[in-house]
Structure 1
């Protein structure tokens, strides 16, 4: 049985980014011209390496059940049990969708170090959210930042449960952010996305077993209804994800 440490995905990103950045510093000391282009080039190298890595350790399979892999603006809202959830959803998408899909992630995690910031901002192009409600500026409003990304033509990966679900409940009650985003962007597809088996890859703990296969099932898209109340939409979205889980387990 193969074993990997819990933080292996983050460490793989940081180590690969570090090697690439070191090579750049040696080849181009003090050079600033074309820095953004070079940074994007190196970020693409790390992204491709990470896609290969995640596919090797999880042997993922995408199941499109009610939606198709087409280039539309979408919010893939998913269950959240593992540190590697968004990496798997992002990595299993076809390249033409992956290029326009951005995870929504916590800035306090992804800005801890320069290399982690490079991974979050440049490799994943994450929409980084300040979770400290009491100490964030108005321009850091999470819903506004997510809506701006969608208005720019990007898609998002969102975990409406908030923190990782470490309970026996399949899906925890949703936070209200997904409702406010749907209300602000009613034309965008909200696609329920169920990850199966990934908790066996990177659960909480130091050492974990790697399963033979992971599946990511993309369900039928939802849209907010005219005048739909918050609790009604949150309940409907959660039920769609729960139904997708039951459908996946029945395969």
Structure 2
């Protein structure tokens, strides 16, 4: 019950602060297994995409959360676990375990994912080069639909280093799905995926 109430509170708060406008430019919202991949400029990105999805998709879509940040306090850990049903990932490899294993497990379970292929938040107008995770997930799960997304203005709501949000109209634009082409090399695919996200900036 507490998680449901917090979910409703966060939806109302995010929509008040940002409008949380979802723009389905290249595909409709659909209950199929997807990986949404987007630019990353704020800790609010996770919440922004989650709030922009329709109710029926939020229940089957799990955002990726950096374990070291989102488990720092009991409240952060509770909200990412109970409310967002996030998948925790280690930003640094520890031991022999593949950092992507929690994502593999989620996809094998049939979940959809929200990921940020840059890996860390950036301050530039354009996304940083994408890391290999999106490519590795695509190679292992080629049937999962890859949907690019551009999050607009959210870095102004919660700038890096700030703790008090500022109301700013924001939107999430979802683009046409892409797929790994036969024989396409990793860097070529990642560069194309990054351009698919960047192309949504001016839509």
Is the shorter-chain TM-score for this pair beyond 0.5, marking a shared fold? Answer: yes
| Structure 1 unaligned spans of 5+ | 1-40
1:97-176 equivalences under 5 Å are 97-133=57-93, 135-136=94-95, 138=97, 141-168=98-125, 170-176=126-132
RMSD (Å), alpha carbons:
1.5
Q: Aligned equivalents of 2:39 and 2:64: distance in 1?
A: 14
TM-score w.r.t. the length of structure 2 is: 0.93
Higher relative contact order (CA 8 A, sep 6+): 2
Local SS of the residue matching 1:235: helix
1:52-131 equivalences under 5 Å are 52-131=12-91
* Residues 50 and 97 (structure 1), Cα distance of their counterparts in 2 relative to 1, 3 Å cut: same
Identify the residue that residue 192 of structure 1 maps to in structure 2: 148
Q: Aligned equivalents of 1:242 and 1:186: distance in 2?
A: 23
Structure 1 or 2, whichever has the larger Rg, is 1
User: Which of the two has greater helix per residue?
Assistant: 1
Deviations along 1:130-178, whole A, 9 cap, x unmatched?
Answer: 1221x3452xx2322212212212111100011111124x111001111
Q: Offset of 1:113 from its aligned partner?
A: 2.1
**Is residue 187–residue 223 contact of structure 1 (8 Å, CA) maintained in 2?**
no
Q: Aligned equivalents of 1:187 and 1:204: distance in 2?
A: 35
TM-score w.r.t. the length of structure 1 is: 0.76
Deviations along 1:72-110, whole A, 9 cap, x unmatched?
Answer: 111110011112011010011111000111111111112
Given candidates 239, 243, 246, the residue that maps to 2:195 is: 239
**Is residue 85–residue 198 contact of structure 1 (8 Å, CA) maintained in 2?**
yes
Show structure 1 runs of 4+ deviating over 6 A: none
Q: Aligned equivalents of 1:137 and 1:122: distance in 2?
A: 29
Q: Aligned equivalents of 2:64 and 2:165: distance in 1?
A: 25
**Is residue 130–residue 136 contact of structure 1 (8 Å, CA) maintained in 2?**
no
Aligned length: 202
Q: Aligned equivalents of 1:147 and 1:65: distance in 2?
A: 28
